[in-house]
Structure 1
Amino acid sequence: MVSNDGRVNPANATTPRIGLLVGDGIGHEIVPAAQATVDAAMSAVGAPAVEWVDLPVGFDAIAEHGNPIPDSTLDALDGLDGWILGPHDSAAYPPLFRGQLTPGGTIRKRFDLFANIRPAQAFSGVRATAPDMDLVIVRENTEGFYADRNMFTGSGEFMPTPDVAMAVAVVTRRACERIAHTAFALATGRRRRVTVVHKANVLALTTGLFRDVCLEVGRQYPGVEIRTEHVDAMAAHLVRRGADFDVVVTENMFGDILSDLAGELAGSLGTAPSLNASETKAMAQAAHGAAPDIAGRNRANPTAVMLSSAMLLDWMSARRADDLLGLAADRIRLGVTGTLAAGVATADLGGLASTAEFTETVGARILRR
């Protein structure tokens, strides 16, 4: 993709095919905003236009197919390079579907999206408790205490009597190794520091195995500094000195909690992107929920899903050796950060911009040469 004189050659670029699953609530506003942002960025760098594939999920899919995540949607995802998933409001689904895997959970399990990569970065123009924070939490996404992910079939939770509830945590060497490699490879392109978070003083066998395997893998990356922290101490450290951390790798539940904490410390979950990935598939999905209370009011903040989409383009760029996708991702980040720094923000960040106005401003910045 890059010629001998360092210029990107667009002639070798191919048309990316990306699935678009708007989901529920504010997904109907923020996912199209992300789509428009990606289109602007691809145009700005001279890349082929994305072929978007609209697929039903959530309430729309229930109405059309009688299922929040129909087989036709899952089958279509198989043929795509990646996809953008909007938030789902599964708690409001009809009772028949409330005890089932959420649409996002079903997709993660179907495609073995074992790495949940969640950056937490403070932005100029956004008030933050930790204004110098710039870290990435790498969360193992398939095991641990999460009942919807740790069994081949059935649930990891059960009740032997009406008054006793139990849960099984699953931790395997294979899952620990692959998430550790993801974290250490990521750190080599950043500040070359990895913090392994566990609770081996209490969960000695499960999180102890996670810690030990991560340390074993870390020895294959001699240029990367390795630290270990108990999860309770890590939560305190994020509040007190979040800027000291670079890449944090941890198991499923710890990663879910710590990434939400880090996102808020950096400013807001509304600005917190996320990517779920395997070796062959990736899904952009903002860390926040469907916010049904403001859905349809043109007030939702699309920042997180825009930045998640940039992460998807980066992942596709590396996998396809397509530098134009990486340049488009850079354009999205510059457009978003420049817009926030200029004081243009939605109401959740203290601004006056509507979803549409924020999106238009980001798009205009992306298209500036």
Structure 2
Amino acid sequence: MSYRIATIAGDGIGPEVTEATVRVLDALLGPDVLMFEWLDGGAGHYQKTGEVLPAETLAACRDSHAILHGAAGLPGVTYDDGTEVGNDLHLKLRFGLDLYANVRPIRLLPGVESPLRHHQPGTIDYVIVRENTEGLYASRGAGVVLRDEMASDSLVITRKGTERVARFACELSRRRQGAPRDGKHRVTVCDKANILRSYAFFRRVCDQVSVDFDDIERDYAYVDAMTVHLVKRPDFYDVIVAENLFGDIISDLGAATVGGMGVSPSAELGDRHGLFQGAHGSAPDIAGQDAANPIATLLSGAMMLEWLASGHHDERLSLAAERFRLAIDKVLEAGLHRPREFGGQAGCRVFTEAVLDQLGRT
């Protein structure tokens, strides 16, 4: 079987890291397994045409098996209300394709130093599952600015939205190895249930879903406390589930503890569609200089293979995903081709070539 991959390079370093990922995926599986369809979209495309996500790109994404995205956004390219155009590309895809679970693995990779000095690879390995279509971000484009004196946005949490993301988090925990500290399968609900009824409702619905998962330990943390726990005891966590905004914030904090956004992959998943991209921005200040770190997008490509393998029962893809991750780990562990943000000299091209060379040895 072959798979159609809607591929949007986007802006800034997006084309560089996307092309690097496509090269490695082709090397893993050959050119006839994944069929990449390059599509328009992003802030640069908006500047040329007035569209950040052309209708034909959305249609191709809807008809594809998966979506691979580089990055989107350029400085100063905003709508009249001041919000950034680039963000709208994946937001439109998110809502249009009902990608309700944003999955952010937080894993300390070999050869990468954590700012948490007592932690080594293997001791930070958890996943943040962020509800992706509701929460405070549901108000984007619909908030109220009254006479330039008052502004408001609404926080939206529904039973359906919470149930499905809570179930997703519990099922994900079952598939994992448990928290590094004690091996327990654990889902932590991150909220502000002590202050706002909306978050108390979120917690209550998560509790109701967890009744069906008596093998998963329940845990809770208020979001302010969570910012402390992710620094003081990251090894305690297995899967964390949170509302949209809170999940967005703690995901970036988690990424900082394992080296930064350059090693932070992400997936936005629904029942039928999946979008995969590095969690970083488009970094236009280094675009075209071969200075980009491709690791986040490479790891997102491995996540794409895993997701496709699960949905289509294709063992070729799960084995390829495992080889992909192992090759990245080996290159980092060897320390000869360290990305510049980790004190090395390797740009996007050199690091990608090192991964390809490592794959040739396995």
TM above 0.5: yes
Does residue 201 of structure 1 match 2:194?
Answer: yes
1:356 and 1:322 mapped to 2: Cα distance? 30
Secondary structure, in 3 states, of the residue corresponding to 1:234?
helix
- How does 1:130-149 map onto structure 2 within 5 Å? 130=116, 131=119, 132-146=123-137, 149=138
The aligned residue for residue 312 of structure 2 is: 320
AA in 2 matched with 1:15: S
Measured in 2, the distance between the counterparts of 1:171 and 1:306 equals 33
Alpha-carbon distance in 2 for matches of 1:62, 1:72: 14
1:37 deviates by: 1.3
What does residue 341 of structure 2 align with?
348
Is the CA contact (8 Å cut-off) linking 1:90 and 1:102 kept in structure 2? no
Residue 25 of structure 2 aligns to which amino acid in structure 1?
V
Structure 2 CA distance for aligned equivalents of residues 112 and 49 of structure 1: 26
Deviations 1:190-231 (A, max 9, x none): 11111111101111x211111111111111011111101111
Q: Please state whether the residue corresponding to 1:353 is helix, strand or coil.
A: coil
Q: Does 1:162 align with 2:152?
A: no
Work out whether 1:260 is the aligned partner of 2:246.
no
Equivalent residue number for residue 87 of structure 1: 71
Pairing 1:109-188 to 2, within 5 Å after superposition: 109-130=95-116, 131=119, 132-146=123-137, 149-150=138-139, 154-155=141-142, 157-188=143-174
CA contact (8 A) 1:115 1:182 kept: yes
- CA 1:326/1:97 → structure 2, altered by over 3 Å: closer, same or farther? farther
Whether the 8 Å contact between 2:139 and 2:153 is mirrored in structure 1 is: no
Higher relative contact order (CA 8 A, sep 6+): 1
After the TM superposition, which parts of structure 1 deviate over 6 Å for at least 4 consecutive aligned residues?
none
Q: Specify which of 92, 102, 105 is matched with residue 106 of structure 1.
A: 92
207, 214, 220: which is aligned to 1:228?
A: 220
CA distance in 2, matches of 1:223, 1:129: 33
TM-score if structure 2 supplies the norm length? Answer: 0.92
**1:97-123, Cα deviation, whole Å (9 max, x unpaired):** 964661111111110110000001101
Instruction: Tell me if 1:297 matches 2:297.
Output: no
For 2:100, the aligned partner's letter is: F
The match for 1:360 among 349, 353, 361 is 353
Give the 5 Å matches for 1:229-248.
229-248=221-240
Please state how far the C-alpha of 1:95 moved relative to its aligned partner: 4.9
C-alpha RMSD over aligned residues:
1.7
1:309 equivalenced with 2:269 (yes/no)? no
Q: Is the deviation greater in 99-108 or in 76-85?
A: 99-108
Distance 1:352 1:121 in 2: 23
C-alpha contact 1:41 1:367 (8 A) present in aligned 2: no
Give unpaired runs (5+ residues) of structure 1: 1-13
Whole-angstrom distance in 2 between the partners of 1:63 and 1:323: 42
One-letter code aligned to 1:360: E
What percentage of aligned pairs have identical amino acids? 37
Counterpart for residue 263 of structure 2:
271
Cα–Cα, structure 1 residues 30 and 218, in superposed 2: closer, same or farther, change >3 Å?
Answer: same
Deviation of the 1:172 alpha carbon? 0.2
| Aligned match for 1:56, one of 40, 53, 78 | 40
Match of 1:40 among 5, 9, 27: 27
Report how far residue 295 of structure 1 moved. 0.5
SS of the aligned residue for 1:351 comes to coil
1:63 shift after superposition: 6.0
Q: Which runs of 5+ in 2 are unaligned?
A: 179-184
1:333 to 317, 325, 344: 325
For residues 105 and 353 of structure 2, what CA distance do their matches in structure 1 show?
A: 24
Query: Structure 1 81/311 Cα, relative in aligned 2: closer, same or farther at 3 Å?
Result: same
Map 1:277-292 to 2 at 5 A: 277-292=269-284
TM-score by length of structure 1 reads: 0.90
- Matches of 1:301 and 1:42, distance apart in 2: 23
Contact 1:298 1:355 in 2 (8 A): yes
Amino acid at match of 2:249: I
